[in-house]
Amino acid sequence: MDVSCAFRHRARRYNSGVTSEAAETHDTDRYDHARLEERWLPHWRRTQPFRSGREGDTRPTKYVLDMFPYPSGDLHMGHAEAYALGDVISRYWVQRGYNVLHPIGWDSFGLPAENAAIKRGVDPAGWTEDNIAQQRASMERYACSFDWDRVLATHRPEFYRWNQWIFTRMFERGLAYRKPSLVNWCPNDQTVLANEQVVQGLCERCDTPVTKKRLTQWYFKITDYADQLLDDMDELDWTDRVKAMQRNWIGRSTGADVKFVIEGRDEPIDIYTTRPDTLYGATFMVVAADSELAAELAEGADAATQEAFEAYAEKVKASSEIDRLSTEREKTGVFLQRYAVNPVNGERLPIWASDYVLADYGHGAIMAVPAHDQRDLEFATAMGLPVQVVLDCRDEDGNPLPDPVESGEATTGDGVLVNSGPLDGLAKAEAIAAIVERLAADGVGEATTNYRLRDWLISRQRYWGTPIPIVHCDACGEVPVPDDQLPVTLPDAEGLDLKPKGQSPLAAATDWVTTTCPRCGAAAKRDTDTMDTFVDSSWYFLRYLSVGKTDGPFEPLDAKKWAPVDQYVGGITHAILHLLYARFFTKALRDMGLVDFDEPFLALLNQGMVQMDGSAMSKSRGNLVRLSEQLDEFGVDAVRLTMAFAGPPEDDIDWADVSPGASSKFLARAWRLARDVASEPGVDPATGDLELRKATHKTLAETAELIESFRFNVAVARVMELVNVTRKAIDSGPGAADPAVREAVEAVAVLLSLYAPYCAEDMWALLGNEDVALGNWPEVDPALLVEDTVTCIVQVKGKVRDRLEVSPSIGEDELKELALATDGVKRALGDAGIRTVIVRAPKLVNVVPA
C-alpha cells in the first residue's frame, strides 16, 4: 500500500470546506503535522537511519524488541501504544550512541487467517501477505524505528523450516514426544487446545465451552524445566506481577509419594500428598474417575460396580470444563468395592472413583484425610465416610478449633499431631520430616515435588501452521524428516477444505500425505497435524539476528553478539504463555549448545491497554477509536506523545481521559521555538544565559534517569517545563539570539525525537542540522547541575516555620545556628526550650521543643 495515498486522502478531509487551492498549500510558518509527515517520511525511507549491524560499526550493542503483531487487519490503538513506548526506549539508546537492534516481523500463522480464508474463500497466504503490507505501511508512517532489513514472517517457509529443524532436535532429545491422553477440545474450532488456551473453561479464541477428547498428540516436555523456569526468574528485571503469574502457573509443591498396597493387585500404587504428617488420618482413597487406574480397579470388582463406574466415567467425560471448574458443585463418585492398606497402621481404606481428583496431577490418586482437607471432608460427608482427627489445631487464643464434622470446616493449618502413633506430640514440620524418614526406611515412600505445569501440547488439527516434520512408517514408527529434506512445506490450500472437522485439513491432501520412509524407503505417511503457533514466537527473537541464513536457524556468532534481548516490550496478555514457552525454548537450545545464555528476555516492560470510556474498545460496544482517524486528525507525533504522556506505561490508558489535541498544541509550541531561534548553528553556548543553561542540562540529566526507569510520562513533563522556560527566555528574558536559547531548543529537539520524530526532525532542520535521531544526546556539564543556593526548610516539631537560602555546601553547625535565629523558629518556640535539633544539611532543619 502506498502511504502517500493516505496523505492525499487526509489533506482532502482536513481542508474540507476550504478552496482546493488552499488544500494544496502548506503554511511553512506554522506547525502543520501533515506537512512534516510528507516531508520527512520519504527522507527516512531513503536514509534508513535504524539499520543495525552495519560493517565497521563500533558502537556498543543493545537488543530492544517489541512483541511482533498478528497480521489481522491494520494496526489499532493497542499497537500504537506498544510501538510508541518501545520506540522511546529504542530511540533513546540510539541517541546515547548505541548500535540498537530493533527489529519487527509478523506472527503470521494461526486461526484468524484460516478463519478469514474459510469465510471469504480466499487463500490464507494472500490474505496474510496483504495484511502484512498494510501494517508495514502503517508502521512506517507511525515512524517506528525498526530495522527494515531484518523483517520476518512466521508463515514463510524460510522461517518455519527452522521450527521443523528445532522440532526434530527436540524429538532426538526426547523433548518432543507423542502420547494419548484426554485433551482440551474446542468443538467450534474443531481443534485441540493447550491448557494455556483454555480460559475459564472457554476457548481463548472463540469463547466456546471446551470439552475433553482422548487423542494421541505431540507434546514438548516443558515439565523437565519446571525448576529452572521457577528459579531463574529471580535474576530477571521483570515486574513482580508477571513473575507471580509465572510462579502460579508452574505451581511447584513439595510433599511425599506414599505406596499403598491394594488388595487383589500385585503392584502397590503411589499417591502424592503435601501432608504426609496426616497419614494416620486417612480414612479412604480416591482415584481420578477418568484415569486408567480407576478403570483397572473397577474391572477387578463385581459387575454391578463395574457398570456403575462406567456410567459415572461417561458422565464425567461429557461434562464441560465449565461444570468442572465450578467450585460449588457437589462431590460425586463411585465406590469401587476395592481396598487399599494404609502403610503406617494397616487400616483398610475403601477406594472411590471421583472427578475431584485429577488424572494428570501427581499419580491421579490420593489418600483422603477428611478431617484436615476441605475437599475430602465434603466427599466424606456426601458419602457417609468416617472422619479421623489427627491434628490438634488451635485458634489465636489457644482454644481448640471445633470438630470438622460438626463445623463442616476441615482444620487445614498447623497443629500438634494426635492419634498418630509415633508422631503424637510433634508439630507439622517435625512430623513431616519424621514420617518421610520412616516411609523411606520402610521403602514405602519418599519426599517428592509436583508441578501444576503440564507438558505443552503442540498438535493442532488445522491448516495454517507449521507441518510437524514426522513420517509415520509401519516398520520404523515415528521418523523425523532429515534436515536436508526440510522444509516440509504446506500443500497448496487450493482445493483443500479448511473447515474444521476434527481432523487436520492436511489429511485430505493425499499426494502430500503419501511419502516414503526416510529410514527404510517403504511407503509411509506424513504427520498431518500442524504446530501451535506459540512455537514460532518461542524463538523468533533469535531469527532476527540472522534473517537470511539458509544453513541454520540463526548464526551462533550473531547470537553471541546481540542476544539475549536487553529490553522486551509487550502486553501483559502474554505474561504466561508466550514468555514461559520462550524461556523453555531458550533453555532447551542452551542444552543443545546453540546459545550460551539461560534467559531470552533480561528486562520486560508490559504496557497497559488502551481503553475507551472505561472498557476495552470494540465495534460491538460502539467505543472503538480508529488509529488511522486519530493520526489524520492529530498527527503521528501527537498520538505517540499522548501514549507516552498518559501515565505510567503499565497502567491502562483511557482515551477519554487524555488529549491528543493538547499534545498537538504542545508540539506546535515546541516547534515555534526552533522557528524563533535567532543565533547561528555552532554558536558557543558557554556565553549564553546561565539560568537557561542550567535548566537545559538539568532536564537532560533527569530525562536519562527517567527514561531508563520507564517513567516516560514524567520525562515528557520535563520537556514541557524546558519548553516553557525557553519560551519565557525568548519573550521576556535574554531573547531569541542568546546562545543558551539555541542550546535549549536543540535539547528540546533531541528529547522530542524519542516521542515525536517528525516534529523533532523538522525542528532540527530549522536549526540548521541533519538527522536528529542519531547519537545527538548532548553531553551534560556537571558544573551546570550545581545550584548556587538551595532552600532550606526550617521546621519546628515537623511543621514548616521558615525558610533559608543557603549554600549547598553549608556545614551542619552553621545551618543549625542560622535556623535557630530565624523569626519563624523564635515565634513557634516561644518560651519552650529545645530538646533536640535534627539537621539534614543543606535542605532541612527540624527543631524539637522540650
Within positions 809 to 828, which residues make up the interface with RNA, using CB under 7 A?
none
Least distance CB 236 / RNA (angstroms): 14
> Which residue in the set 249, 312, 755, 758 belongs to the binding site for RNA (CB under 7 A)?
249
Does position 832 bind RNA by CB under 7 A? Answer: no
Q: In what order do the strands lie in the sheet with 610-612?
A: 615-616, 610-612, 653-654
In angstroms, give the least distance from the CB of 543 to RNA: 28
Region from 17-25, 334-342, 639-647, 733-741 binding RNA, contact rule CB under 7 A: 639-647
**Of residues 6, 358, 476, 547, which one binds RNA by CB under 7 A?**
358
CA gyration radius, the chain: 34
Which distant-in-sequence residues (6+ apart) come within 8 Å of 482 by Cβ? Answer: 518
* Cβ 50 vs Cβ 93: under 8 Å: no
> In what helix (H) or strand (E) does residue 570 lie, and over which residues does it extend?
strand 567-571
**798 near RNA, judged by CB under 7 A:** yes
Measured from the CB atom, is 479 or 575 closer to RNA?
Answer: 575
Q: Is 28 in the site for RNA (CB under 7 A)?
A: no
Q: How far is the CB of 297 from RNA (least distance, A)?
A: 15
Nearest-approach distance from CB 312 to RNA, in angstroms = 12
- Which of 797, 812, 817, 823 touches RNA by CB under 7 A? 797
Interaction pattern, residues 462-501, with RNA; x per rule: CB under 7 A = ----------------------------------------
* Binding of RNA by 357 (CB under 7 A): yes
Candidates 72-80, 353-361, 618-626, 684-692 — which segment interacts with RNA by CB under 7 A? 353-361
Task: Name which of residues 166 to 205 contact RNA (CB under 7 A).
Answer: 195, 199
Q: Smallest gap, in angstroms, from Cβ of residue 634 to RNA?
A: 13
Q: Confirm or reject binding of residue 659 to RNA (CB under 7 A).
A: yes
Neighbours of 591 (CB within 10 A): 14
**CA-wise closest residue to 754 among 779, 773, 776, 770:** 773
d(CA 433, CA 439): 10
User: Is residue 724 involved in binding RNA (CB under 7 A)?
Assistant: yes
Report whether 218 contacts 178 (CB < 8 A).
Answer: yes
Shortest distance in whole angstroms from residue 593 CB to RNA? 33
CB atoms within 10 A of CB 426: 17
What is the smallest separation between the CB atom of 90 and RNA, expressed in angstroms? 20
Rounded least distance, CB 797 to RNA, Å: 5
Site string for RNA, 728-747 (x = CB under 7 A): x--x----------------
Q: Which residues contact 610 (CB under 8 A, 6 or more apart)?
A: 77, 78, 80, 81, 617, 625, 643, 652, 653, 655
Cβ pair 222, 457 in contact under 8 A: no
Using rule CB under 7 A, residue 658 touches RNA = yes
In the numeric block, which cell numbers belong to residue 196? 494455556
Segment 526-585, which members bind RNA (CB under 7 A)? 572, 576
* Footprint (CB under 7 A) of RNA, residues 255-294: 255, 272-275, 288
Is 324 a binder of RNA (CB under 7 A)?
yes
Residue 460, phi then psi, degrees to nearest 5: -135, 135
Of 473-481, 619-627, 680-688, 798-806, which segment contacts RNA by CB under 7 A? 798-806
- Choose between 88 and 153: whose C-beta lies nearer to RNA: 88
Q: What is the C-alpha separation between 722 and 95, in angstroms, rounded?
A: 19
- Closer residue to RNA in complex, CB, 199/429: 199
If binding is defined by CB under 7 A, does position 68 make contact with RNA? no
- Min dist CB 638 to RNA, Å, is 11
Choose, by CB under 7 A, the member of 97, 413, 502, 648 that binds RNA: 648
Closer CB to RNA, 547 or 793, in the complex: 793
Which of 237, 229, 233, 277 lies closest to 254, judged by CA?
277
**Does residue 361 touch RNA according to CB under 7 A?**
yes
CB of 182 to RNA, least distance (A): 13
Binding residues among 370-409 for RNA as defined by CB under 7 A: 373, 375, 378
Applying CB under 7 A, which of residues 651, 770, 813, 817 lies at the interface with RNA? 651
Among 9, 54, 315, 329, binds RNA (CB under 7 A): 329
Of 181-189, 551-559, 653-661, 742-750, the segment contacting RNA by CB under 7 A is 653-661
Contacts of 755 (CB under 8 A, 6+ apart): 84, 88, 637, 640, 641, 644, 645, 712, 716
d(CA 492, CA 247): 42
637 scored as a contact of RNA (CB under 7 A):
no
Helix (H/G/I), strand (E/B), else coil: 166: helix
Binder of RNA out of 260, 356, 568, 581 (CB under 7 A): 356
CA-CA-CA-CA dihedral for 639, 645, 649, 655, to nearest 10 = -50
Which residues inside 664-723 make contact with RNA, applying CB under 7 A?
A: 665-666, 668-669, 672, 706, 709, 711, 713-714, 716-718, 720-721
Closer of 500 and 635 to RNA (Cβ)? 635
Q: First CA to last CA across the chain, in angstroms? A: 79
List the grid coordinates of 720.
514541557
Pairing of strands 252-262, 334-341: antiparallel
Q: Which is nearer to RNA, 102 or 259 (CB)?
A: 259
578 — phi, psi (to 5°)?
-60, -45
Does residue number 751 form part of the binding site for RNA (CB under 7 A)?
no
Which residue number, 516 or 789, has a Cβ lying nearer to RNA? 789
- Closest C-alpha to 576, from 238, 84, 186: 238
**Residue 715 carries which side chain, given as an amino acid letter?**
A
Count of residues making up the chain: 850
Contacts of 372 (CB under 8 A, 6+ apart): 275, 278, 281, 389, 390, 391, 404, 410, 411, 412
- What's the closest the beta carbon of residue 249 comes to RNA, in angstroms? 5
Shortest distance, CB of residue 233 to RNA, whole angstroms?
Answer: 13
Q: How far is CA 169 from CA 239, 481, 486, in A?
A: 33, 11, 13
SS3 string of 481-539? CCHHHCCCCCCCCCCCCCCCCCCCHHHHCHHHHEEECCCCCCEEEECCCEECCHHHHCC
Q: Residue from 103, 110, 112, 364 that binds RNA (CB under 7 A)?
A: 364
Secondary structure (3-state) at 432: helix
Nearer residue to RNA within complex by CB, 466 or 663: 663
Q: Give, for 796, the enclosing helix (H) or strand (E).
A: strand 790-796
Q: List the x/- string, 438-457, binding to RNA by CB under 7 A.
A: ------------x-x-----
Site string for RNA, 78-117 (x = CB under 7 A): ----------------------------------------
Binding residue count for RNA, defined by CB under 7 A: 82
Binding to RNA (CB under 7 A) within 225-244 occurs at 239-241, 244
Name which of residues 576 to 605 contact RNA (CB under 7 A). 576
Question: Is-contact 183 213, C-beta < 8 A?
Answer: yes
Q: Is 519 in the site for RNA (CB under 7 A)?
A: no
